[in-house]
Amino acid sequence: MPLIETEEAARRLARAIASDLSLYNEEKIVGGIQNDDLFNAVAEEIEEGRALYKSRVSPELYAKNFYDRAIVDILVKSKGHVKSKIW
């Protein structure tokens, strides 16, 4: 399979992976936010997604941090309704 070479496609893939992480790990994510331990709670899942993302995009696009931005947007910002001492 050829590597993704466009920013739009790389962003779309990053958001799809982050959305899957959110969908399949909702309980862990909510608990991580509530306990101010989100990135430790889902570290394994995030790294698994990162490996998938890295294997599918060109090195130049990987260096632009689209995956990390998608993680923050989808796993953190979208959970602003969860009660937490961090906000």
The model's pTM is: 0.91
Phi, psi (degrees; rounded to nearest 5) at 4: -70, 135
**Model pLDDT for residues 29-52, shown as the tens digit of each residue:** 999 988 899 999 999 999 999 999
**Model pLDDT for residues 51-83, shown as the tens digit of each residue:** 999 999 999 999 999 999 999 999 988 887 888
